[in-house]
Structure 1
Amino acid sequence: MSDNDKYSTPLSSRYASDEMSKIFSLRNRFSTWRKLWLTLAKAEKSVGLDVITDEALGQMEKHLEITDEEIEAAKKQEAIVRHDVMAHVHVFGETCPAAAGIIHLGATSCYVTDNADLIFLRDAFDVIIPKLVNVIDRLSKFALEYKDLPVLGWTHFQPAQLTTVGKRSTLWLQELLWDLRNIVRARNDLGLRGAKGTTGTQGSFLSLLHGDHDAVEALDAKIVELLGFDFAYPVTGQTYSRKIDIDVLAPLASLGATAHKMATDIRLLANLKEMEEPFEKSQIGSSAMAYKRNPMRSERVCSLSRHLGSLFSDAVQTASVQWFERTLDDSAIRRVSLPSAFLTADIVLTTLLNITSGLVVYPKVIERRIMAELPFMATENIIMAMVEKGASRQECHEEIRVLSHQASAVVKQQGGDNDLIERIKNTEYFKPIWADLDKLLDPSTFVGRAAQQTDKFVKKDVAEALKPFQKHINDATVSLSV
């Protein structure tokens, strides 16, 4: 059967980066198992197990990367023994005959499956963190570029007080900073399961080492050292606690929420024609409507972010139903949800990298929308200016209320432009402030401290958060493809 006749997840076949797909590939999984068996053998030799020979270690070292032929051989063996780990023990032993008798010595299957998963999770975090850092960096540059450009604010998607384009983007930035904090924390909190035996008691290793408790602890510590982790979980059942998966997927789900909100805002702004994601010269927006410039990247972010959020419940439910030292109903779902979460997060971030590298702003459209709403927003300023000229606030309020309702009727009932300012200019009562109207309607006076907030936030908070990641910023190895 051709690969074209088989279903393959679009997460890997269509969207995800090569580096993320490789982490969760079969070759990497089984090669990592071999690395773990070699590590166990080295650690056992280091604490005095003479049955581990240099010849055995040498053969294992030489064949760490599994070949296509060996993968196929393991598939055939698994069909016979109905056990994936033992199938690979058998094939690795055939490849390394000097090590055949000591591969997996004292270990349970979760020694390789769980420790491998923890390695994959750590490595997957190391792929997405640089991408998130670059999204933050590019968006922070955008925020500074447009920190002074006034734009109509929206509450309930109804016109509200003005803000600036840059200040609005800091709302996205702040949430991305929280995501970075949470993801880095989850990554650094990862430990190894280590060598804990079938129910977590290390009983098999205690027997191998003739009751030497210190040697068993040294064995565990050596495995941690050789695999480059900081620690192993002090106690486990047969598996590491599936609560760890909750801690891993929670920040990814939260990132999905941030990305969805940001991409939704961009989609709405595209409809308003105020801002758009990049649109390539030869890109087709619609197969039927040639004029369309659909926000397909932002739509992809929203689509996959929903999926990312939904995967979190897999971890919560799985952790809650683990019986005693272990049960196997966690296995199949984790093979789906853990890779899917990281592949999806990778795609979302790669797409956001593309979007933030080329956001397009249309100041003239923004200005026109501001001027359509600003006269209503300026009424309080007009009233105060009239009072300074000696008018009664109550009388002025009534005068401008009548004119505002008339202008509103033109907009809503006749589909015309907001002509409130023209009405004020043609009403003798307001003659004392006619000369001041342009100043009173300057949009930059309606944005409060938006520019100052943006400048301080980017130069202080964002800069501080990105300081440990400077080597990743603009790294050529960070994929931009979408």
Structure 2
Amino acid sequence: MNPLYAVSPLDGRYAGRTRPLARYASEAALMRARVEVEVEYLLALADLDAVPLDFADDETAALRDLYDAFDESDAELVKQIETEGYGEYSATNHDVKAVEYFVREGAPERAHAWIHFGLTSEDVNNLAYRILVRPAVEDVLLPELRDVRDELVEMAHEHGDVPMLARTHGQPATPTTFGKEMAVYASRLGRALGRVADALEGLEGKLAGASGTYAAHRAAYPDVDWRAFSREFVHELGLQHASHVTQVNPSDDLSELFDALSSVNDVLLDLDRDAWRYVSDTYLGQDAAEGETGSSTMPHKVNPIDFENSEGNLSKANSDLDFLGDYLTKSRLQRDLSDSTAKRNIGAAFAHCLIGYLKLSDGLGKVVPNPDVMRADLDDTPEVIGEAVQTILRREGHSDAYERVKALTRGRRVTIEDFHELFRDLDVSEPVREELLALTPASYTGYGAELARDVE
């Protein structure tokens, strides 16, 4: 389809950006994952002594090839079985049943009765989604996030010594360094990524039948330990085992993952907005791309569009992730189907994440700190050394130190000479007076440079 006619910008304007997710988030990807679950379940059944089924090595390979070599024509066949029917099969109007019949087409006839044996669709679906969600995050989202973090670490180290006016409540405050502020974001992002990794390790799979009791399995083969079978099967798929379920996997694990990703995005949204402000204040300069238009009417403009685009996409991603995390954990009684259509939007949430990460990375790659502008702002706000002055005076036993500096500076424009006049009038030793006279906004950055270099 021509991307210009796509309903969603994810498959239209941003199709090139979101393409890496297609193998994990498309309908064809879900079909392939369902085939994998059905095939591996069939092979696991054949390994049970109680089940009169076995496969030769070439038959096993052919079955696994159903998902290993799953391609566009296979996806179209599954869709045809679902919507139109195929061969002896009437249209199923059921996507999982269509996958079952597709597997029959590639399996020996003696195995047909055992395909989807004792399962409910949710047994297949919950496992399929999770074996897609994990690599979508691990192989697509996390590498981009690590690139962003690497950029932040590099900026922290390179610009750790560049003094910059800080602002608290939007007002001039104790100076910092640009590198230290980037180190804060790198550190926060590192912690948030740890939460994502933990959530991925905690993904759980369910295989327990129509009401979570293994009833059909036990009725057919009461001597088989189906709980142990389920646990081992789910572990073989790389997931933790959800032992107590209804027909559905409660999705608390997915909710934790979505919450962890939302926390990552919150950090980056904060960065987007700060970077936007730094560009606005000309603390950061931007590369002007040749031929690019900043404004349709103002030719001079170089807009911080990457940070703005990232902010918009991460905000949309968080809206989707918060909705999914809340909605998927609820099901009326033992099962209702409203979660089915909601889950189909997991890929869209991930796609907005991906665009946000890529755009933020683009933005960081285009900006360069402007030390001269930062220094001029510092020199123009000498009142920020007031904290240092009153703290040193407290050290020297002046109980009215805070009040004296407040009287000089609060709500007033002051100069460095105003401070020097105050210092000359103070009852302090000459070494302390010299210490005070040496204070400047640009030098009052504490361990800013060290903190910037500490982040790895």
TM-score (norm 2): 0.83
Residue number among 384, 387, 406 corresponding to 1:377 in the alignment: 384
Aligned to 2:76: 72
- In the alignment, is the contact (CA less than 8 A) between 2:164 and 2:442 conserved in 1? no
Change (3 A) 1:423 1:217: closer
Aligned to 1:211: 222
Aligned to 1:145: 158
Q: How does 1:150-161 map to 2 (within 5 A)?
A: 150-161=163-174
Secondary structure of the structure 2 residue equivalent to 1:249: helix
Alpha-carbon distance in 2 for matches of 1:373, 1:106: 74
Q: How does 1:271-290 map to 2 (within 5 A)?
A: 271-276=280-285, 279-290=288-299
Change (3 A) 1:299 1:50: same
Change (3 A) 1:187 1:303: same
Secondary structure of the structure 2 residue equivalent to 1:81: coil
Aligned to 1:119: 131
Q: Deviation at 1:148?
A: 1.7
| Residue identity opposite 1:61 in structure 2 | R
- In the alignment, is the contact (CA less than 8 A) between 2:273 and 2:311 conserved in 1? yes
The answer to whether structure 1 residue 63 and structure 2 residue 66 are counterparts is: yes
| Residue identity opposite 1:93 in structure 2 | R
Change (3 A) 1:237 1:9: farther
Residue number among 332, 346, 350 corresponding to 1:342 in the alignment: 350
Aligned to 2:396: none
Alpha-carbon distance in 2 for matches of 1:29, 1:50: 30
Q: Deviation at 1:405?
A: 9.6
Aligned to 2:183: 170
Aligned to 1:199: 211
Alpha-carbon distance in 2 for matches of 1:308, 1:264: 16
| Residue identity opposite 1:21 in structure 2 | A
Q: Deviation at 1:378?
A: 4.2
Q: How does 1:86-101 map to 2 (within 5 A)?
A: 86-96=97-107, 98=109, 99-101=111-113
Aligned to 2:87: none
Alpha-carbon distance in 2 for matches of 1:58, 1:383: 78
Q: How does 1:64-463 map to 2 (within 5 A)?
A: 64=67, 65-79=69-83, 80-96=91-107, 98=109, 99-127=111-139, 128-193=141-206, 195-208=207-220, 210-214=221-225, 216-227=226-237, 229-276=238-285, 279-319=288-328, 321-336=330-345, 338-374=346-382, 376-378=383-385, 408=413, 420-421=415-416, 440-456=438-454, 458=455, 463=456
- In the alignment, is the contact (CA less than 8 A) between 2:262 and 2:318 conserved in 1? yes
Q: Deviation at 1:3?
A: 6.3
Secondary structure of the structure 1 residue equivalent to 2:242: coil
| Residue identity opposite 2:448 in structure 1 | A
Q: Deviation at 1:87?
A: 1.8
Change (3 A) 1:58 1:103: farther
Aligned to 2:397: none
Q: Which stretch shifts more, 183-192 or 131-140?
A: 131-140
Aligned to 1:41: 42
TM-score (norm 1): 0.79
Alpha-carbon distance in 2 for matches of 1:242, 1:406: 54
Q: Deviation at 1:279?
A: 4.6
Change (3 A) 1:381 1:246: closer
Paired residues in the alignment total: 435
- In the alignment, is the contact (CA less than 8 A) between 2:258 and 2:325 conserved in 1? no
Secondary structure of the structure 2 residue equivalent to 1:454: helix
Secondary structure of the structure 1 residue equivalent to 2:241: coil
| Residue identity opposite 1:7 in structure 2 | V
Q: How does 1:464-479 map to 2 (within 5 A)?
A: none
- In the alignment, is the contact (CA less than 8 A) between 2:381 and 2:441 conserved in 1? no
Alpha-carbon distance in 2 for matches of 1:384, 1:201: 68
Alpha-carbon distance in 2 for matches of 1:263, 1:239: 38
Q: Deviation at 1:24?
A: 0.7
Task: Determine what percentage of the aligned residue pairs are the same residue.
Answer: 20
Q: Deviation at 1:244?
A: 2.3
Alpha-carbon distance in 1 for matches of 2:335, 2:93: 19
Secondary structure of the structure 2 residue equivalent to 1:213: coil
Alpha-carbon distance in 1 for matches of 2:204, 2:279: 44
RMSD: 3.6
Alpha-carbon distance in 1 for matches of 2:8, 2:453: 46
Q: Deviation at 1:235?
A: 2.2
Q: Which runs of 5+ in 1 are unaligned?
A: 387-392, 409-417, 464-482
Alpha-carbon distance in 1 for matches of 2:196, 2:364: 20
Change (3 A) 1:152 1:3: closer
Secondary structure of the structure 2 residue equivalent to 1:148: coil
| Residue identity opposite 2:204 in structure 1 | G
Q: Which stretch shifts more, 110-119 or 91-100?
A: 91-100
| Residue identity opposite 1:44 in structure 2 | L
Q: Deviation at 1:379?
A: 5.9
Q: Deviation at 1:363?
A: 0.5
Q: Which stretch shifts more, 306-315 or 93-102?
A: 93-102
- In the alignment, is the contact (CA less than 8 A) between 1:241 and 1:319 conserved in 2? yes
Q: Which stretch shifts more, 14-23 or 235-244?
A: 14-23
Q: Deviation at 1:145?
A: 1.6
Alpha-carbon distance in 1 for matches of 2:328, 2:170: 40
Alpha-carbon distance in 2 for matches of 1:160, 1:75: 62
Change (3 A) 1:212 1:276: farther
- Please give the per-residue CA displacement for 1:248-300, whole angstroms capped at 9, x wherever unaligned: 21111112211111000000010000014655344332232221111111101
Secondary structure of the structure 1 residue equivalent to 2:135: helix
Alpha-carbon distance in 1 for matches of 2:2, 2:291: 32
Change (3 A) 1:453 1:63: closer
- In the alignment, is the contact (CA less than 8 A) between 1:249 and 1:311 conserved in 2? no
Change (3 A) 1:211 1:371: same
Secondary structure of the structure 2 residue equivalent to 1:273: coil
Q: Deviation at 1:115?
A: 0.3
| Residue identity opposite 1:69 in structure 2 | S
| Residue identity opposite 1:41 in structure 2 | L
Alpha-carbon distance in 2 for matches of 1:142, 1:125: 25
